[in-house]
Amino acid sequence: MMNIKAFRLVSAIERELLMGDKDHISIECIECCGKNLYVGTNECFIHHFLLEENMSPNGKVTFSATKQRHKYLGFKKPVNELKAASALNRLLVLCDNTIALVNMMNLEPIPSGARIKGAVTFALNENPVSGDPFCVEVCIISVKRRTIQMFMVYEDRVQIVKEVSTPEQPFAVAVDGHFLCLALTTQYIILNYNTGASQDLFPYCSEERQPIVKRIGRQEFLLAGPGGLGMFATVDGISQRAPVHWSENVIGAAICFPYVIALDDEFITVHSMLDQQQKQTLPFKEGHILQDFEGRVIVATSKGVYILVPLPLERQIQDLLASRRVEEALVLAKGARRNIPKEKFQVMYRRILQQAGFIQFAQLQFLEAKELFRSGQLDVRELISLYPFLLPTTSSFTRSHPPLHEYADLNQLTQGDQEKMTKCKRFLMSYLKEVRSTEVANGYKEDIDTALLKLYAEADHESLLDLLVTENSCLLTDSVAWLEKHKKYFALGLLYHYNGQDAAAVQLWVNIVNGEIHDSTRSDLYEYIVDFLTYCLDQELVWKYAEWVLQKSEEVGVQIFTRRPLEEHQKDIFNPDDIINCLKKYPKSIIKYLEHLVVDRRVQKEEYHTHLAILYLEKVLQQKPSANGNCAEVTETQAKLRNLLQKSDLYRVHCLIDKIQGTSLHMESAILHGKLEEHDRALHILVHELKDFSAAKDYCLWSSQSKDPPYRQRLFHMLLSVYLKPGPSDCDLVPAAVDLLNHHATEFDAAQVLQLVPDTWSVQLLAPFLTRAVRESLHTKRVTQAALGLAKAENLLYKHDKIKLKGSPVRLSDKKLCQMCQSPFCEPVFVRYPNGGVVHTHCAANRHMNPNSSSPGNRT
């Protein structure tokens, strides 16, 4: 059986003190009120003791009773019941069916002799309805059959309040407010003595077994039920707690929250009201009284009186935790909430939750543990400190005292089981990851993040990098040592970078690329470094590694200059001339860089344009004679060159012409001549040297791109003249001329062309040209006519407006009267309505009254 030690049985009154050597004396009833302990005997005596609670040196509670006095009541009957009414300083004594009032201190009967006669048993109302503090409400089961009586008992008088009859003979009673809980012959009922309403609870044969009716709190009773059940019932007749299971022959019950204590002939049993489980059993023979008095539980045989001393709740909880009964400990702790001041409770409860969490943790019940740690607001370092070496060396953390658990560290907890160890580590990882962004982490961010970094590094976990590239509080010195130990050099670089030590970071990465240290985290580390330097603000660092980067790869390396963030250009952090100087040794790089300047950034500087053009040219010339193998590349560079020559107006044309002279780059030289406005020359090259007519036509188009139409026309005419100019190879040029005319009819002045065209050409030959030319000319004519018509119409509209505005004059004279007020105008000021009516300005102010105008809104 799962037992806890909730109570200890301590003797209260020594047998000798009570009865000396008179064996025939036996205890009939007990009352305890504060330190006053009263015992009623079978020989009609009342004994009064003073009870002192002492703490023995070993922390155990003991009691000592000192006898005050005793009183003989004068009958030959036993004292049946004793109840103290401390507010009245009275003890109610039931003996020989009479309840007498005696002084609590000297046990003398009161002078008035007030008493209640004819009582079998009685109960005090612990939830009185009268509101009078100097009055107790007493309910008796009368000697009259099936009768209950209610009395008000004052210091020296008693008064009957109510008499109710019951359907069956009552055997036991308890009172709460207006509600009586009664054990009748065959059942328990709730009876409202005020309204007379009754409510059946459940059947019980009171003649067979002694009933128990015990008020346990506001409007709730504990009853002995069938089969040895302890049943709970409220005044509404419902059960809010599950029953507890006693033995069949239970004779008494008491409450000491959260426990229900029951007595039978052999044992005292303790059940928890929270989970209904039996918690403790104390052997106790021949007991016949069990009662609780203001929280003190007293049990008695006919010869001795004992007290059940509850162990402190915390002690009970700790005992439960020590035997790993987490669930029960938590239930007990929660149940204690209302008996302990709030703040004290919270501190205690949190600690219990944390302890429970570690118990679950040690059993690898991580889900449960996490929930307990969370609700117990565990200082996360308590958990981290279980793992060797995880807390930073600088951490000032010391474990709480007394300790929350019994483990020195994880090794002890897992007893070296590697699999368990791994599970624990995985749990900590997920736990720390979860809490690091919550308030749990407040104040311990460094400890948490450093521990997390160590765990990740050790487990080779991918989240290590995520941790380092996002906001974190990893402590540098600790982390550096740990990452070096686990050869996480790339991560170490990230850590350096996060801590502003970019130089160290890059040096480390460069070492990895160079193969001096080994870390395979990134296979593209070189590109990563380039990228890093591209966005690096530290100019010196970029220069320092520029050579290394370029040596590795000219094309990729140059990105550290070409891909720099845009905003940097405006600040001119890197001087392009310095860069060009640096790149001199790297032909591919320098072209890329100049392209970046000229094409991407559109830097309008002659040097760069000329430099780039020359580099292109050199490359083209260098490759041209060598081989036709990599034809594609030649064309590509050549295309770039041509494009540059065409688009840019900045390069030094003469310089390039000099360089290009004598080479076979006709197209390029045509472009260059074009740039010098030597179109004649250019076209001549294109037509006669290159014989590329379509290029010649394109030349006319792009050269005149940003110029006015006459300029373009001039070029086309020039080309036509070149074609038509008699030369050695004129036979080839005629079709070209015809083609040009027929396809670009609109670019020519038809009249001029007709003069140039040789007479020998047929109309058919030039039919498309002529059709186009005529259509164009007609079109122009019509458009012009339409424009003329529109302009005339517009002019007419304006004229119409002008005439309307002039209109006819209004004459004012003495005879002219205002249409509103019918009086003459005295000043040369008036208002004229669109219908011609003339009124005073002040009359017009009231224009809504104008009789002649239906829409008087418009003044003129």
Partner 1 sequence: MRKPDVKIVLLGDMNVGKTSLLHRYMERRFQETVSTVGGAFYLKQWRSYNISIWDTAGREQFHGLGSMYCRGAAAIILTYDVNHLQSLTELEDRFLSLTDTANTDCLFAIVGNKIDLIDEVGVKDGAKDLNDPGKTISNCDSARATKRVCLDDAMALYKKILKYRMLDEKEVPAAEKMCFETSAKTGYNVDHVFETLFDMMVPIILRQRAEGPSQTVDITNYKPAKQTQSRCCV
Q: Residue for token digits 């009922």?
A: 189
245 binds partner 1 (CB under 8 A): yes
Nearer to partner 1, 174 or 641 (CB): 174
Helix (H, G, I), strand (E, B) or coil at 648: coil
Q: Segment near partner 1 (CB under 8 A), from 232-240, 449-457, 661-669, 773-781? A: 232-240
Which tokens belong to 188? 């328990």
Q: Output 40 or 258, the one with its CB closest to partner 1.
A: 258
* 236 belongs to the binding site for partner 1 (CB under 8 A): yes
Q: Does 277 bind partner 1 (CB under 8 A)?
A: no
What Å distances lie between residue 220 and 129, 176, 203, 212, 273, CA to CA?
A: 16, 8, 18, 13, 13
Q: Kindly write down the DSSP assignment for every residue of 144-176, as one continuous string.
A: STTEEEEEEE-SS-EEEEEEEE-SS---EEEEE
Of 225 and 287, which has the nearer Cβ to partner 1? Answer: 225
Query: What is the DSSP pairing of strand 187-192 with strand 198-203?
Result: antiparallel
Q: For tokens 């030590």, what's the residue?
A: 501
- Which stretch in 223-231, 393-401, 515-523, 704-712 sits in contact with partner 1 by CB under 8 A? 223-231
Question: Quick one: 367 or 763, whose CB is closer to partner 1?
Answer: 367
CB 79 within 8 A of CB 93: yes
Interface with partner 1 includes 327 (CB under 8 A)? no
Which of these segments, 235-243, 670-678, 783-791, 846-854, binds partner 1 (CB under 8 A)?
A: 235-243
Q: How far is the CB of 190 from partner 1 (least distance, A)?
A: 10
Is residue 2 a contact residue for partner 1 (CB under 8 A)? no
CA–CA separation, 377 and 443 (whole Å): 14
For residue 667, CA distances in Å to 611, 633, 643, 650, 662 come to: 20, 18, 11, 19, 13
Question: Given the complex with partner 1, which of 200 and 538 has the nearer CB atom?
Answer: 200
Per CB under 8 A, does 392 bind partner 1? no
Quick one: CA dihedral 407, 412, 415, 419, positive or negative? positive
As a whole number of angstroms, the distance between CA 766 and CA 745 comes to: 10
Residue 676 makes contact with partner 1 by CB under 8 A: no
Residues 146-205 that bind partner 1 (CB under 8 A): 187, 195, 197, 199-204
Which residue's CB is nearer to partner 1, number 65 or number 229? 229
C-beta closer to partner 1: residue 192 or 663 = 192
**Position among 18, 101, 231, 352 found at the interface with partner 1 (CB under 8 A):** 231
Phi, psi of 131 (to 5 degrees): 85, 0
- Residue 257 interacts with partner 1 (CB under 8 A): yes or no: no
Select from 47-55, 227-235, 588-596, 642-650 the region that touches partner 1 (CB under 8 A).
227-235
241 binds partner 1 (CB under 8 A): yes
Residues 795-814 that bind partner 1 (CB under 8 A): none
Among 40, 78, 211, 243, binds partner 1 (CB under 8 A): 243
Please identify, using beta-carbon distances, which residue of 196 and 565 lies nearer to partner 1: 196
Piece in contact with partner 1 (CB under 8 A), picked from 225-233, 477-485, 665-673, 719-727: 225-233
Instruction: Tell me the closest approach of the beta carbon of residue 269 to partner 1, in angstroms.
Output: 14
At 459, the amino acid letter reads A
H-type alpha helices, 648-766: 653-660, 666-675, 679-684, 693-703, 709-724, 730-743, 750-756
233 near partner 1 (CB under 8 A): yes
Q: How far is the CB of 49 from partner 1 (least distance, A)?
A: 38
Q: Residue 591 to residues 26, 526, 631, 721: CA-CA distances in angstroms?
A: 119, 22, 19, 40
Binding of partner 1 at residue 227 (CB under 8 A)?
yes
Given the rule CB under 8 A, which of 63-71, 236-244, 321-329, 572-580 is the region that contacts partner 1?
236-244
The secondary structure of residue 721, as a DSSP letter, is H
Q: How far apart are CA 812 and CA 830, in angstroms?
A: 9
Q: What is the DSSP code string of 765-834?
A: TTHHHHHHHHHHHHHHHHHHHHHHHHHHHHHHHHHHHHHHHH-------TT-B-TTT--B--SS--EE-T
225 contributes a contact to partner 1 by CB under 8 A: yes
From CA 720, how far away is CA 427, in angstroms rounded?
A: 86
In the complex, least distance from residue 222 CB atom to partner 1, rounded to whole angstroms:
13
- The verdict on 276 binding partner 1 (CB under 8 A) reads yes
E strand or H helix that includes residue 544: helix 539-552
> Closest approach of Cβ 212 to partner 1, in Å?
15
CB 428 within 8 A of CB 383: yes
Closest contact distance (angstroms) between CB of 483 and partner 1 is 45
- Site residue total, partner 1 (CB under 8 A): 25
Residue 741 and residue 720 in contact, taking contact as beta carbons nearer than 8 Å = yes
Q: Compute the least distance from the CB of residue 198 to partner 1, in Å.
A: 10
Q: Is residue 718 packed enough to be buried (19+ CB in 10 Å), middle (13-18) or exposed (0-12)? A: middle
Subset of 58-87 contacting partner 1 (CB under 8 A): none
Q: Is 558 helix (H, G, I), strand (E, B) or coil?
A: coil
Nearer to partner 1 among residue 236 and residue 794 (C-beta) = 236
Least separation in angstroms between residue 205's CB and partner 1 is 10
**Which residues of the chain form contacts with partner 1 (CB under 8 A)?**
187, 195, 197, 199-204, 225-227, 229, 231, 233-234, 236-239, 241-243, 245, 276
